[in-house]
Structure 1
Amino acid sequence: MEKLIREVRILKIYAVVLTVLCAMFFFLAFKNQSSNERFKEIDVERINIVEKDGTLKMVISNKERQHPGLVNHKEMNPREREAGLIFFNSMGDECGGLVYDGNEKESGMAYSVDQRNTDQIMQLQYSESAGKDKKRVYGLKLWDRPDDFPMEYLIKAADSIKKLNNPETSRKAFVQLKEKGRLGSERFFAGKTANGDVGIFIRDTNGKVRLKLYIDKNNQTHIENIDENGNLVK
């Protein structure tokens, strides 16, 4: 009889403990779902921002752990990239970013916006070299990109050219791609150039400067209309 009473007591204790543990579990689970953790300070090398289904939408990272980029949900080959933010769209493509750095030789920062399925078409940029002969450039730059040569094709072409293992042959191959319009072309720059000119510089579809409206470093104003051969039109 005493043995039975002892076993009943043990079962009661077990039931009470189990009930308390279950209550704590549900309380903590509900708390985690209904409240946000708050930190005064956190040190981290990389943060991945994802959707509920795990789709990557943004990476905040240092230089060493920076994301190499995505094309059609496929991660690109490892490459050196600066610290900053990289953005990704729902199609699994990189679509822009903000990167920056500065060292003994140079400093720079760039905020880029990528065209759908391809590379950057707009960039707010700053770069500067150190030393007495420093070259400081900053402003807004625009590009045109072809719709029929997406980033996936561009990567394959670049990889094929690298396999040539011949600098001169590789250079000619890139020139051919550029002449065919596969690499896109710079169309517009508004800002300060390396020689101190501040203004607007517009290029044609071939990437040639055709119109300049600027003030030079001596505070002289200029409006220059240039033909396709680089000659000033008067």
Structure 2
Amino acid sequence: MSKTSTFLAGCTTTLAALTAVFVLSGAKISPKNAQFDEITVGRINVVEPDGSKRLIISNRAQFPGDFEQGKENPRPDRRSFAGMIFLDEEGNENGGFIQNGSQTPDGKIRAGLSLTFDRYRQDQALQLVHNSDENRAFSSIQINDVPSYKVTSMEDVNRFKQEAEKLSRDEQNAYWARRSEEGRLPENRINLGTTADKGSALSLKDEKGRTRMLLLVTAAGKAEIRMMDEKGQVIKTVSAEN
């Protein structure tokens, strides 16, 4: 037999052996496109062609930590809800949607949903939230003024929390007030939502998060506008009566 014939025979034998292995093992090439009527999973990672994560959908048990420049940091406090996390091109958390809801044997209810959008490499700048317990429920839209990550990084935020935990309650209040004065903290600027007494309100705030104008409609239907000074004192009220 010639060398060429011997080579071809060897290739044929090898190909036959590989084919047998694939057939016997049940292995097959996964298609790039597939269609399912239903899938059951604990977690889905949506990734780019290079493998970088862009969206994570997860149950409670497998919910991820937070992400900074592609690195995932442990967040055991996030194991109380399910939902999804958005990631930007650099692997930074960019917002997300979370939800939970349960009732204890003694009737206590703990339920809520939150959709958030983060500033680049920072915390949430816009949030749509709903919370409820056994006594009441409220919903709101919150718009926050969040400092640049160059002013306050997420590492700074974690450090602030650790430092504050070592202080007494009064010292903590002073600590956070000082950080706020320095412009290092996010400040809520607009809050639109329902109130504990079943009213509805729009709160407009200054750069320090102090309410300066409040548009309020009570559960009974009384409407008024309150204007406030920097200490929160009402300096003028506009209503149907005046």
Q: The TM-score by the shorter chain falls in which range?
A: 0.7 to 0.9
**Cα 1:64–1:80 shift into 2, 3 Å:** farther
Q: Quick one: percent identity of the two aligned structures?
A: 26
What is the distance in 1 between the residues matched to 2:12 and 2:53?
A: 44
Aligned partner letter, 1:122? L
Task: State the 1:23 CA deviation.
Answer: 8.1
Cα-Cα RMSD: 2.7
The structural deviation recorded for 1:55 is: 0.9
- 2:80 is aligned with 1:78: no
**Counterpart-to-counterpart distance in 1, 2:17 and 2:172:** 68
| TM-score, normalisation: structure 2 | 0.78
Q: Is 1:39–2:36 an aligned residue pair?
A: yes
SS in structure 2 opposite 1:214? strand
1:37/1:135 CA distance change after superposition, 3 Å: same
The letter of the residue matching 2:176 is: F
SS in 2 for 1:174: helix
Partner of 2:127, secondary structure, is strand
Deviations 1:138-187 (A, max 9, x none): 1211111112112232123323444x376554454334323323221111
The alignment partner of 2:76 has SS state of coil
Structure 2 partner of 1:177: 179
- Kindly indicate whether residue 157 of structure 2 is the aligned counterpart of residue 154 of structure 1: yes
Q: 1:110 & 1:224 partners in 2: Cα distance?
A: 29
Provide the rounded CA distance (Å) in 1 between the counterparts of 2:11 and 2:208. Answer: 80
SS in 2 for 1:59: strand
CA shift, 1:70, in A, is: 0.4
Q: Which residue of 2 aligns with 1:106?
A: 110
Shift of 1:103: 1.3
1:54-109 CA-to-partner distances (Å, cap 9, x unmatched) read 11111101112111110122222332222101001012210100001111222110
- Residue 16 of structure 1: how far off its partner (Å): 4.8
> Secondary structure, in 3 states, of the residue corresponding to 2:77?
coil
Letter of the 2:57 partner, please give it.
I
Work out the CA distance in 2 between the residues paired with 1:219 and 1:232: 21
1:198: which partner in 2?
A: 200
- Is 1:56 the counterpart of 2:59 in the alignment? no
Contact 1:135 1:195 in 2 (8 A): no
Corresponding position of 1:94: 93
Ranges in structure 2 where 5+ consecutive residues have no aligned partner: 23-27, 104-108, 237-242
**Which residue of the partner structure matches residue 67 of structure 1?**
64
Find the aligned partners of 1:192 and 1:157 in 2 and give their Cα distance. Answer: 31
Give unpaired runs (5+ residues) of structure 1: none
For normalisation by structure 1, the TM-score amounts to 0.81
Counterpart CA distance in 1 for 2:174 and 2:233 is: 26
CA contact (8 A) 1:71 1:152 kept: no
Matches of 2:196 and 2:119, distance apart in 1 = 27
